[in-house]
């Protein structure tokens, strides 16, 4: 017969796992737009969720209806800090867990409210093999960080709308309006950098994972602090590892750069036994250094 205390502990553990951390609300998903934005292009294609190699992590494709999912911390641990999390995927797919939900839950467990954006991506072949073959062939040819990328404009529009909504609803989420930042991966990193220099939004900080600054991005002197991280063996952007950091430094804006020896592209929360496995800890320490992890941290006035 199972001991009743063990049964109670198991129930508490399962309950805590289902809601993220003990005391944390369950993630809440809502449509990004109340009404379709101008230029909305919904062809009626079905959204696809599928596993990708090498570890079968979940990817989303053919997203036409963007959503925002809130991962809120236990009120007892809440810091009033928030972050918009934008996964990558070349604007053709979304690495929704390794660069989205898992990151958001990790931050929420540490008192930081995180919001995962499922943004619009380009239409792709519904057949998994056909899509994956074409996608990998495209990547094998290299990515020009200066060339336009199909789908980027719509995705960035979604990013701006998401950040503006979080800022507007800050009080409802228990957030300090002046302590809401952005964190993006690869394609999402392009978006984070664009939002970071938008004077109408001016997030409190910018996290850029393996994405260089895009053409036309002008970094002002009052740009928010930047955290940039990439692996030196990144096959896509390894040769431009310092581009975002250099742009911030040239503008005399605060910036920190981490170049991990190995990790490849898109490491996210994947455990590979490399130093890139610790990027979230590095990011969290950096947030602390700019006053974004404690309830009583001072914040500079907005420009």
Two structure tokens written together for 35 = 């009404």
Using left for φ > 0, alpha for ψ between -120 and 50, and beta otherwise, residue 285 falls in alpha
The pLDDT tens digits for 139-171 are: 776 667 677 788 999 999 999 999 999 999 999
**pLDDT at 250 exceeding the cut of 70:** yes
| Per-residue pLDDT at 16 | 36
- Interatomic CA distance for residues 230 and 262, integer angstroms: 9
- Lowest average pLDDT, out of 19-23, 61-65, 190-194, 256-260, goes to 19-23
Q: Which CATH number fits domain 35-289: 2.40.50.100, 3.40.50.2000, 3.40.50.1820, 3.40.50.970?
A: 3.40.50.1820
The pLDDT tens digits for 23-61 are: 778 999 999 998 877 777 666 689 999 988 777 889 999
- Interatomic CA distance for residues 63 and 47, integer angstroms: 5
**pLDDT at 5 exceeding the cut of 50:** no
How many CB atoms neighbour CB 13 within 10 A? Answer: 11
Nearest CA to 226 out of 235, 217, 234 is that of 217
| Per-residue pLDDT at 302 | 34
The pLDDT tens digits for 288-299 are: 999 999 874 434
The pLDDT tens digits for 77-128 are: 999 999 999 999 999 999 999 999 999 999 999 999 999 999 999 999 999 9
How many CB atoms neighbour CB 236 within 10 A? Answer: 19
Q: Which residues contact 265 (CB under 8 A, 6 or more apart)?
A: 186, 210, 231, 234, 235, 236, 237
Cis peptide before 54 (omega within 30 of 0): yes
What's the pLDDT band for 3 if we cut at 50, 70, 90?
Answer: very low
* pTM for this predicted structure: 0.88
- Interatomic CA distance for residues 188 and 102, integer angstroms: 15
**Which letter, b or e, does each residue of 72-103 get, where b requires 16 or more Cβ atoms within 10 Å of its Cβ?**
bbbeeebbbbbbbbbbbbbbbbbbbbbbbbbb
| Per-residue pLDDT at 142 | 67
Most confident of 96-100, 236-240, 262-266: 96-100
């Amino acid at each position: 017969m199972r001991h009743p205390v063990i049964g109670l502990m198991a129930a508490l553990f399962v309950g805590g796992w289902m809601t993220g951390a003990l005391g944390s609300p369950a993630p809440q998903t809502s449509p990004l737009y109340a009404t379709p934005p101008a230029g909305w292009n919904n062809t009626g294609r079905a959204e696809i969720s599928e596993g990708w190699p090498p570890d079968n992590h979940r990817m989303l494709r053919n997203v036409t209806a963007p959503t925002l999912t809130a991962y809120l911390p236990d009120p007892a641990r809440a810091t009033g800090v928030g972050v918009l999390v934008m996964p990558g995927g070349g604007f053709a797919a979304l690495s929704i867990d390794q660069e989205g939900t898992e990151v958001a839950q990790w931050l929420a467990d540490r008192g930081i409210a995180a919001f995962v954006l499922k943004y619009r991506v380009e239409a792709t072949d519904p057949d998994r093999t056909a899509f994956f073959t074409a996608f990998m062939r495209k990547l094998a040819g290299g990515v020009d960080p200066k060339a336009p990328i199909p789908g980027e404009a719509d995705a960035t529009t979604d990013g701006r709308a998401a950040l503006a909504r979080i800022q507007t609803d800050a009080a409802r989420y228990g957030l300090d309006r002046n302590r809401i930042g952005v964190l993006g991966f690869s394609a999402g990193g392009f978006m984070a950098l664009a939002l970071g220099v938008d004077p109408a939004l001016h997030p409190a900080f910018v996290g850029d994972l393996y994405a260089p600054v895009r053409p036309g991005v002008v970094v002002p002197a009052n740009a928010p602090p930047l955290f940039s991280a990439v692996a030196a063996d990144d096959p896509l952007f390894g040769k431009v590892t310092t581009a975002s950091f250099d742009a911030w430094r040239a503008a005399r804006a605060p910036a920190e750069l981490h170049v991990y020896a190995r990790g490849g592209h898109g490491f996210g929360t994947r455990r590979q036994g490399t130093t890139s496995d610790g990027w979230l800890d590095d990011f969290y320490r950096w947030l602390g250094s700019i006053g974004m992890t404690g309830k009583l941290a001072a914040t500079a006035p907005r420009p």
